[in-house]
A and B are shown apart, each in its own frame.
Chain A
Amino acid sequence: MLEVRALEVAYGSIRALHGVSLDVGHGELVAILGSNGAGKSTTLRAISGLVRPRAGSIRFLGRTITRAAPEEIVALGISHCPEGRRIFGRLTVRQNLVLGGIQRPWPEVRRDIDRMETLFPILRERLNQAAGTLSGGEQQMLAIARALMSRPRLLILDEPSLGLAPLVVEQVFRTIAELKGEGLTILLVEQNVHHALDVADRVYVLETGRVTLSGPASELRHDPRIEQSYLGR
């Protein structure tokens, strides 16, 4: 579904990615693991068109999207739920959801808001509340719901458990598992290795802008190299 090949990204003279390649197949949940600054978020930003790669290619459903604009990539079916949630705090929960479906016809958006209410019951009673007043966990749920409003074929989640209490993290991962159960393809970046390995089918480990390890989550779960990559050796 998604094929990333030899991707290189640089911010000015600082090279963030040195030839990253990865694949995500239909219905798969693929996790990218790695320590801070390994290039995980940069990889995601390149996929969703926020940064232009210096070299390499990105193909989605057989189409090259390497240099496409973010709105074109959303239209093709990739939805990126960014790190730090980035909800629109001064707008209401409902308005946030409407914006998530900005490219879709209005009747469908209305129907999907109802769907999100059933999928995320905590949002139901807060629809007309300013999103900035929600708790961290509720904001994360809203961010995921908002990302789903574009009816993506590939959902990208960047650090969905960041800064959340352990109980809330459990809840977020239950939601991710549910979405996977519905057949949604997911590309997940996570610092929380154990949870990521629990839900993922396959895993890539990034270190200083390179893929250093990859394979099925079941095989890597007890691999000592995973832990090493986090401790930075």
Chain B
Amino acid sequence: MALYVLQQIVNGVSAGSLYALMAVGLAMIFGILRLINFAHGDIMMVAAYFATFALFAGLPLPAAVLVMTVGTILVGLAMERIAYRPIRGAPDVATLLTSFAVGQILENGVLLTSRLAGQPIQIAFPAPPGLDGVVALGSLTVPRVNVASFGSGIVLLVLLSLFVTRTRLGLSMQAAADDLTAAQLMGIRVNRVVATAFVIASGLAAVAGFLYASQAGQINPYLGFTPVLKAFIAAVIGGFGSLTGAVAGGYALGLLEVIPTALAGIADILPPGSVSPAVHDLLATLFPAGLASYRDAFVFVFLILMLLFRPNGILRATREETP
């Protein structure tokens, strides 16, 4: 029983790492530009394709990851320069619609490229050998991919927090997110700070895309849709715009998602005789085996409750606005 719970927590934390990697990028760009970049999921998708084609070309794993990361960052930078910079300061609706348009362009661009390369819409991801199989931790078995997700998530997020608090460029980013005008008056180069945010966000999305593709085993041009929604929810849970909040929100969401799965059919997992037949029946009615398929509904209900009762995120009760 304890093992079962532990197994679910491990699953939740590993999914949470992916959400956190994505949510941090959304929050970072929103913090500075007040732009909800829905194309962020497509950046992650582009990364999965870069990795796939690099692996198809026979590159070893480290080289493929390098090609993927650099390629994705370049796409992210181009997106900022071509689509977002010209409309900086435009009304929120305009920037939001632009991000949807960018997403469409990326999806169709990848679809076209993939077709021209003679590939089907759905491609099997050439899972790198190192990420196959499971690791045994005591009596717990964890897929290697999940260990990699968790490990790379933690390492990258720690590096990010060091960058943001310990370097002057990182501080500039925080200042620009806090008060863009005041940041300009300090002599901070806003274009450089915005470009840095897109570099970091795209780099993290690239890693998330790679891990996501390894877990799913196949890729298609629309794979970024669900992750960007989940990252959005994670960012909302954390209080939109806050980086720490986005990370916390990502892990919270990952853990939240396993609750329906963990509770599904719980009555049958309990050792026989450990609870009275009445309790057993109650549990079986409350948490039927089919509960797991309501996972997303559960998460969205939670999102609605969050927006109703803690719209500033779990970490911040109220956000004080300085004049």
- The segment from A92-100, A111-119, A121-129, A172-180 that touches chain B is A92-100
- The answer to whether A100 and B186 touch across the interface, beta carbons within 8 angstroms, is yes
How many of chain B's residues have a CB under 8 angstroms from any CB in A? 20
Q: Which residue of A lies closest to B187 (CB)?
A: A74
Chain B 306-323 near chain A by CB (<8 Å), digits 1 or 0: 000000000000001011
Which residues from A are CB-within-8-Å of B188?
A: 71, 99, 102
Contact B186 A75 (CB under 8 A): no
Beta-carbon contacts under 8 Å, B122-175 to A: 168, 171-172, 174-175
Neighbouring A residues of B181 by C-beta, 8 Å: 50, 82, 86
Contact with A along B175-204 (1 / 0, CB 8 A): 100110111111111100000000000000
B295 to chain A, nearest CB (A): 35
With contacts A84-B323, A89-B322, A132-B320 taken as known, whether A102 is within 8 angstroms of B187 at the C-beta atoms is yes
Which of these, B178, B184, B185, contacts A90 with CB under 8 Å?
A: B178
Per the 8 Å Cβ criterion, residues 276-315 of B in contact with A are: none
Known: A89-B322, A98-B168, A132-B320. A146 touches B186 (CB 8 A): yes
What is the CA–CA distance of A48 and B183 in the complex, to the nearest angstrom?
Answer: 12
Is A213's CB within 8 Å of the partner chain B? no
Given contacts A99-B188, A150-B187, are A88 and B168 in contact (CB under 8 A)?
A: no
Question: What are the residues of chain B within 8 A of A82 when measuring CB–CB?
Answer: 181-182, 185
Let me know if A71 and B187 touch, CB within 8 A: yes
> In the complex, A85→B175 CA distance in Å?
14
A71: chain B residues at CB < 8 Å are 184, 187-190
Please determine whether A88 and B185 come into contact, CB atoms closer than 8 angstroms. no
Of residues 47 to 84 in A, which have CB atoms within 8 Å of B's CB atoms? 48-50, 70-71, 74-75, 79-82, 84
Residues of B within 8 A of A75 (CB): 187
Specify the chain B residue showing the minimal Cβ separation from A84: B323
Chain A nearest CB: distance from B209 CB in Å? 31
Asked if A88 contacts B189 (CB within 8 A), the reply is no
Task: Note all chain B residues with C-beta closer than 8 A to A70.
Answer: 184-185, 187
Contacts A86-B181, A86-B322 known; A102 to B174 CB distance under 8 Å?
A: no
Q: How far is the CA of A70 from the CA of B191 in the complex (A)?
A: 12
Cβ–Cβ contact B178 & A88, under 8 A: yes
Which residues of B sit under 8 angstroms from A86, Cβ to Cβ? 179, 181-182, 185, 322
CB neighbours of B190 from chain A (8 A): 71
CA of A95 to CA of B190 in the docked complex: distance in angstroms?
18
Contacts of A49 in B (CB 8 A): 184
In the assembly, what is the distance between CA of A180 and CA of B168, in Å?
30
Residues of A within 8 A of B182 (CB): 82, 86-88
Contact partners of A74 in chain B: CB under 8 A:
185-187
Q: How many angstroms from the CA of A82 to the CA of B322 in the assembled complex?
A: 13
Chain A residue contacts of B178, Cβ below 8 A = 88-91
Contact of B185 among A48, A95, A106 (CB under 8 A): A48
**Complex CA distance for A86 and B183, rounded to whole angstroms:** 9
Q: Compute how far the CA of A66 lies from the CA of B171 in the bound complex, rounded to whole angstroms.
A: 29
Residues of chain A lying within 8 A (CB to CB) of residue B186 = 74, 99-100, 102, 146, 150
> Which residue in chain A gives the minimum CB-CB distance to B178?
A88
Query: What is the CA–CA distance of A80 and B181 in the complex, to the nearest angstrom?
Result: 11
Residues in B whose Cβ lies below 8 Å from that of A88? 174-175, 178-179, 182
- B174–A90 contact, CB under 8 A? yes
Cα-based distance from A146 to B172 in the complex (angstroms):
14
Q: Which residue of A lies closest to B322 (CB)?
A: A89
With a 10 A CB-CB cut-off, give which of B171, B174, B185, B323 has the most chain A CB atoms: B185
Give the CA-CA distance A161 to B183 in the complex, in Å. Answer: 22
Contact assessment for A102 and B168 in the assembled complex, using a CB-CB cutoff below 8 Å: yes
From B174, B189, B322, A132 is in contact (CB under 8 Å) with: B322
User: Which of B171, B174, B187, B320 is packed against the most chain A CB atoms within 10 Å?
Assistant: B187
A70-B184, A99-B188, A102-B188 known; A91 vs B323 contact (CB < 8 Å): no
Contact of A91 among B168, B174, B187 (CB under 8 A): B174
> Interface centre among B182, B183, B320, by most A CB within 10 Å?
B182
Does A103 sit within 8 A of B, measured CB to CB?
A: yes
Contacts of B322 in A (CB 8 A): 84-87, 89, 132
A36 smallest CB distance to B (angstroms): 15
Chain A residues contacting B323 (CB-CB under 8 Å) are: 84
Q: Which chain B residue shows the least CB distance to A45?
A: B181
Q: If the complex has contacts A84-B323, A89-B178, A132-B322, are A98 and B185 also in contact, measured as CB distance less than 8 A? A: no
Question: Which A residues are in CB contact (< 8 Å) with B189?
Answer: 71
B positions within 8 Å CB-CB of A = 168, 171-172, 174-175, 178-179, 181-190, 320, 322-323
In addition to A95-B174, A99-B175, 10 A-B residue pairs with Cβ atoms within 8 Å of each other are A50-B184, A74-B187, A79-B185, A81-B185, A82-B185, A86-B185, A88-B175, A95-B171, A99-B171, A150-B187
User: Could you pull out 17 A-B pairs where Cβ atoms are within 8 angstroms?
Assistant: A49-B184, A70-B185, A71-B184, A75-B187, A86-B179, A86-B181, A87-B322, A89-B178, A89-B320, A89-B322, A90-B178, A91-B171, A99-B175, A99-B183, A102-B168, A102-B172, A146-B186
The 4 closest A-B CB pairs, nearest first, are A74-B187, A86-B182, A70-B184, A103-B187
